[in-house]
Amino acid sequence: MLHRLFPRSIRARLTTIATLVAAIVFTATSLLTLATVPGNLRGVVENRVELAVRRVASDARTGELPKVLVPPPRVQLLQVVSADGKMIAASPSLRDGPRMTPFPVPDLERVYTAERRLTRKGTETGVHYLVMGLRVNTPDGPATIYGASALTDVDGALRWIYLLLFLGAPLVLVLVAGLSWAVVGFALRPVERIRAEMAEITGQDLSRRVPVPDTGDEITYLAATTNHTLDRLERSAETQRRFVADASHELRSPISALRAQLEVANAYPDEADWPATGKRALAAAERLTSIIDELLMLAKLDAGAMPERRVVDMCRLAEDQVRRRAGGRVPIHLDQCGTAPVLGSQVQLDRLLTNLLDNASRHAATRIDLRVATEGGRVIMTVADDGDGIPPHDRERVFERFTRLQNARAKDKGGSGLGLPLSREIAMAHCGTLSVAEHTPGACLVCVLPVHDQPAGA
């Protein structure tokens, strides 16, 4: 419910918050000022007058009261009145100045306070005075001492305080709101430029970048991060476009070959060799299935899909591969190994080893060497062949999707260029690496995976 009370604009929200905070501060300050300052100002005057009255009362008690009273600074009027209303003593200013009308002071030795507006002779304009009275006993009988001090300065100070509080505070709030609006607007101006530029960027053109202000603040980091994100999006979009184009090309070849074979056989049914046609069609279908399977696994890896993991012994996987490939075109020589536990997906790890051995089988001349060993907390799996090898400048390019070197295309037209990229993605998904090592003759691919530390007694 509270969010509905605030505007949606960040600029308006911050301005509202700043104005509300200023209003709360000014209100609290105003209330504190009104509660303390008037009383303090009057208290100073009261203390001054009361001190003067008590000094005169002390002289009156001892009978040493002069006829002319000399008031202290900032106390204008002093007078002593007897019980029958006669003026016993007074300050010089009472002769030609304002007349101080006595007020009742019933109790002895108790100070009474009142406020009076006194006028001078011949004038109608009165002056606001604070008057204090004290009744004491004198040698000639009871007498009342009156003292007065003008409240002109106090009244003037209070008028200025009220003016500042009730007129100045709203003006200050308006000033705070205006400054907040301008400052926040200036601070958010780069954000508006970033927003406008982002609105112009489309999926067809990801080459544009947002402006980066040189203020060095959070907006600068936001703009820089946005540009880094756009860089990644552009690379990802370019990779996706290239991937789609390559996938379309790779899928079109077996489909075209399959369709051509079936169309020829269908056009000349009596002359067609149907068993051979079916065999070729089955081979094309198997290639399509292999490409689609690899594309699906790559898509799952790109999406971050994580299948159920368990402990997989890479030595056992290697032994199973060698048994399944017994009698193939090129023999596989497996070095004796004990155990090499890895925490991961058995399906994906088996696919990794299958792709490496398939790649070696296509290029090997006489033999393939397979080695699985555990060294320093790592499982190192090496697949080496004695074929033509991979040139140094192509050892990273072979891990790009649908990349097939020229000698690979000449030897085997059935490859898809997805085996090694998929194998590296699987290795990376298992916190490992896959790279091409120096080897003569032929090629050597090395996969390094972390060893799974099994608990004691497992």
Residues 354 and 336 placed together within one structural domain of the fold: yes
Q: Is 96 among the domain residues? A: yes
Long-range pairs of 199-205 with CB within 8 A, sequence gap ≥ 24: 201/230, 203/237
389 and 420 co-located in one domain: yes
Q: How many domains is the chain built from?
A: 3
Whether 110 and 6 share a structural domain = yes
176 in the same domain as 36:
yes
Domain containing residue 2:
1-200
Q: Look at residue 112 in the predicted model and tell me its pLDDT.
A: 92
Residue linked to tokens 């200023």: 22
Q: Among 260, 276, 299, where does a domain finish?
A: 299
Token digits of residue 331: 């023999």
**CA 86 to each of CA 52, 80, 81, 82, 143: distance values in angstroms, whole numbers, following the listed order:** 21, 8, 5, 5, 10
In contact, 177 and 15? CB cutoff 8 Å: yes
Tell me, what CATH number does 290's domain have? 1.10.287.130
| Tokens encoding 300 | 């799952």
What is the separation, in whole angstroms, between the first and last Cα of the chain? 57
pLDDT tens for each residue of the chain, 458 residues long: 445 555 677 888 888 888 999 999 988 988 898 888 888 888 899 999 999 999 999 988 888 888 888 888 888 889 988 888 888 888 887 765 556 777 888 888 899 988 888 776 555 567 888 999 999 998 888 999 999 998 888 888 889 988 888 888 889 889 999 999 998 888 888 888 888 888 877 766 777 888 888 877 788 888 888 888 888 887 777 767 766 766 666 666 677 777 777 787 788 777 777 787 778 778 777 777 777 777 777 676 666 666 778 899 999 999 998 888 888 888 899 887 888 999 988 888 988 898 899 888 888 888 899 999 998 889 999 999 988 888 888 888 888 877 766 555 555 555 567 788 888 988 998 899 999 988 888 889 999 999 987 654 44
Please, how many CA atoms are within 13 Å of residue 310, restricted to the half-sphere of its CB? 3
pLDDT of residue 457: 44
In a domain, 98, yes or no: yes
CATH number of the domain bearing residue 423? 3.30.565.10
DSSP label of 392: G
> Exposed/middle/buried for 4, CB within 10 Å: 0-12, 13-18, 19+?
exposed
Determine the Cα–Cα distance for residues 266 and 208; give it in Å rounded to an integer: 53
Tell me whether residue 277 is in a domain. yes
* Residues 14 and 63 placed together within one structural domain of the fold: yes
Query: Quick one: 189 and 226 in the same domain?
Result: no
Give the per-residue pLDDT at 7: 65
DSSP H/E element including 370 = strand 368-375
Same domain, 243 and 347: no
